[in-house]
Structure 1
Amino acid sequence: MTTHNELRLLPWSGPDGNPCYLSAEGSGGYLSRLADNTEAAQLEMSGELLEHALEVLGDGEAEPNELRLLAMDMTEALRDVRRVAISRGRRLPLTDTPAHEGGDEGPRLPAAAFG
C-alpha cells in the first residue's frame, strides 16, 4: 500500500507548538497506538462538546462569559478534529483514478440526484 506521506501527523504538538510526526513504517508500535487512542478521545470529546454547545445555544439565556468559553472550547476541538482529518487523509492509499473529460475528477451523479 502506498501512502501520501511516510510521516504520520500526531494528534499533539511539540513544546514549542510545532507539529509532531512519526515515521509511518511501524504502524503497530506504541506511539502509533497512543496516537490512535488520543485521536479517538479527541473525536469523542468533540462530539460531547457539540451536544453541549447545542444545549447552551438553544437555551437563549447564556451569559457572554459562558458563550466565550464555549467558543474557545469549540475552537480547540475544531483544531483537534482538523488535525485528525489531515493525519488520516495523508495515510489513505494512493489510487489511480481515471481522468475524466473536461478535467472534472469529482463523482458523476445523475441529474435525478439533484431533484
Structure 2
Amino acid sequence: MATRSFVRSSDSPGKHPDSVRLLPWSNGDGNPCYLLGDGTGYVSRVADEIESLQLEMADDLTGHADDLLGCQRVSNRELRFLARGLTDSLRDVRRVADSRGARLCAAERSSGCVDGREA
C-alpha cells in the first residue's frame, strides 16, 4: 500500500491552503510527498529551488548526452550510465511538470476560469 507524506505549511496559521503541491522529492519509501499550504512558505521556496536545480541538471545532462552520442567510441557501460541518468532526470522533470500543471489548474479553478475562459 502506497503511503503519502504531507507537510503542512505553518507560515500562514489559520488560513485554509489554496492547494496541495506535489513536492520534488519522495519519502524514504519512494512515495510522493505533498505540501499543504498557500505556496509562500519556506518549504515552498525550497521546493522551487530544487525544481529549478532539477531542470538545470536535465539541461546539462541533455547536452552531455548529445556530446556522448556523437562519439564513435562509446562503451556499453557509458551508454548504460547515460541511460540511467536520463531516466532519473526524466522522472524528475515529469514530477516538476505534474506539480506545476496541478497548481495551474488549481489557480484557474480558484480564479473562476476553466480552460482559460471565465466560468
TM-score by length of 1: 0.77
Aligned to 1:96: 114
Aligned to 1:30: 42
Q: Please, which runs of 5 or more residues in structure 1 have no aligned partner?
A: 100-115
Q: Which has the larger radius of gyration?
A: 1
* Residues 2-46 of structure 1, C-alpha deviations (whole Å, 9 max, x = no match): xxx8210000000000000001x3311110000000000000000
Q: Secondary structure at the match of 1:12?
A: strand
Q: Find 1:8's aligned residue among 5, 18, 21.
A: 21
Higher strand content, 1 or 2: 2
Q: Secondary structure at the match of 1:91?
A: helix
Relative to 1, partners in 2 of residues 1:52 and 1:97: Cα closer, same or farther, differing over 3 Å?
A: closer
The amino acid that maps onto 1:14 is N
User: Which residues in structure 2 correspond to 1:67-86 (within 5 Å)?
Assistant: 67-86=79-98
Q: Find 2:63's aligned residue among 27, 43, 51.
A: 51
Tell me the matched-pair count: 94
Could you tell me the percent identity over the aligned residues? 51
Q: Secondary structure at the match of 2:98?
A: helix
Aligned to 1:41: 53
Q: Secondary structure at the match of 1:81?
A: helix
The amino acid that maps onto 2:24 is P
Deviation at 1:79, TM superposition (A): 0.2
Q: Please, which runs of 5 or more residues in structure 2 have no aligned partner?
A: 1-17
Deviation at 1:61, TM superposition (A): 1.3
Higher relative contact order (CA 8 A, sep 6+): 1
Which runs of at least 4 in structure 1 moved beyond 4 Å after TM superposition?
Answer: none
For residues 25 and 63 of structure 2, the distance between their equivalents in structure 1, rounded to whole angstroms, comes to 24
For residues 115 and 41 of structure 2, the distance between their equivalents in structure 1, rounded to whole angstroms, comes to 32
